Chains A and B, each alone.
Chain A
């Protein structure tokens, strides 16, 4: 893999972010609203429940982590959509860039945009509601890594879907985090859900992160093995997503869809 074509994708995102406020605001506004909404919610819950239990690291921390995962996923898809919206596939895929370099460019763009969102969220949550990431200890890094890898994997799957079904399939991408959140144990322990849902939930890497977070802030111990399973699942999904994207791309080249993308399907 060459670094220059990967940097080109990142540079393009930088140019677009710099060009106007709309793209920058999209990185900040929703996550800021979430932090403020859930920040006040946690303050209220702290005031009406028994003293001694702090909802801030449990709920607000979870919201922050989930929003980070969402931004990672959208970071990949937004960089991809730039080529969809500007009908740029012929120019990009007719160049010497390889599909792995293209994916690496999307991922690199997402690293930068999601890191920016994370900093904003953290600043708001810390300044306004006293959330401290330090309360998660050294496990914070693996927590973020698992969410990052799974976010990238889902972002790539979403891109594959849009590549396969055309620009009108874009709507499919936006609700993915909302659809997953009830099963990912973001706001409540997995044990709250029915047994069959619990089984389903355990194939989702974020479950291991949020269960681990709750264990830490309630004074329990986090199982390293459990987090390792979450990490392994995330890596598995990431590799699978890359295979899926490559296959969808190859099929699009075989059928001619890349060259006639606005047609949405070649039948």
Chain B
């Protein structure tokens, strides 16, 4: 059974087709990379799965709950972190986590927050306002928030974009561990191809809102005559027609 099932998803803005007949599914414990150049439709897709952008067509199901008709149940099983959606800087880490835990209907809030602060090495920042934390620390708070409801589907839009290499590796390790232990399904966007190779089980290359390529990030470049994933990415960005079958 898939955790996330996207069928024939479409988003049109007047004459522009941002997402065009996109279909894919993610399995429990699987990390799927959503790759593509700027404007390929990655964030649009994530926003639609998050319910903050209405699709022009198609269907999104999260653990068999249709997002269009059963939004609450679908989103109770989902969470997200994005570099462009930091938590309010005028609340402390603890206050932010408590606020979002209540929005997500988390049962034992204090215990859950304690565990996440420990897990993301945030204990010493507990009573500090998020606005005074470094960008790396804020990212970790966002990730802790994303784990609050023990989601079955985790949407991560460039989660390590503002982190130094050491912290980014720690974060990747943590997410991989959670994904594997709790059989969470992760949809991950990144422009860091090294990271994608290290983390993702499967990648979807988007171009002009459509899936151009799909496969294992460690074997996909060779299958298309490229030596690295980065080289393949550049080809997708510059010459997508050369890859269309």
Please report A residues at the B interface, Cβ cutoff 8 Å. Answer: 2, 4-5, 7-8, 11-12, 15-16, 19, 82, 86-98, 250, 253-256, 258-259, 266
Contact = CB atoms under 8 A, between A and B. Distances in A.
A93 B51 CA distance: 8
B132 to A, nearest CB: 13
Interface stretch (B98-106, B115-123, B172-180, B211-219): B98-106
B76 interface: yes
A134 B44 CA distance: 58
Given A12-B91, A19-B90, A82-B88, A94 B51 contact: yes
Contacts of B73: 96
Closest 6 CB pairs of A and B: A8-B102, A86-B88, A96-B75, A94-B50, A95-B103, A90-B85
Contacts of A90: 50, 52, 82, 84-85
Contact of B52 (A19, A86, A98, A258): A258
Nearest to A254: B54
Contacts of A4: 102-103, 105
16 contacts: A4-B103, A8-B99, A11-B99, A12-B91, A15-B91, A15-B99, A86-B90, A94-B75, A96-B76, A97-B103, A250-B54, A253-B51, A253-B54, A256-B47, A258-B53, A259-B47
B226 interface: no
A82, A96, A97 — most chain B CB neighbours (10 Å): A96
Contacts of B87: 88, 91
Contacts of B52: 89-90, 93-94, 253, 258-259
Interface residues of B, number: 34
Chain A at the B interface: SS class? helix
B71 A96 contact: yes
Contacts of A255: 13
A253 B53 contact: yes
Chain B at the A interface: SS class? mixed
A96 B84 CA distance: 20
A11, A82, A90, A266 — most chain B CB neighbours (10 Å): A90
Contact of B88 (A11, A88, A93, A97): A88
Contacts of A82: 88, 90
Given A86-B89, A253-B53, 14 more contacts: A4-B102, A5-B103, A8-B98, A8-B100, A11-B99, A16-B90, A92-B103, A95-B104, A96-B105, A98-B71, A250-B54, A253-B51, A256-B44, A258-B52
Interface string B45-64: 00100111110000000000
A201 B104 CA distance: 44
Contacts of B84: 90
B104 A96 contact: yes
Contacts of A88: 87-88
Nearest to B94: A15
A253 B71 CA distance: 13
Nearest to B102: A8
Nearest to A94: B50
Contacts of A8: 98-100, 102-103
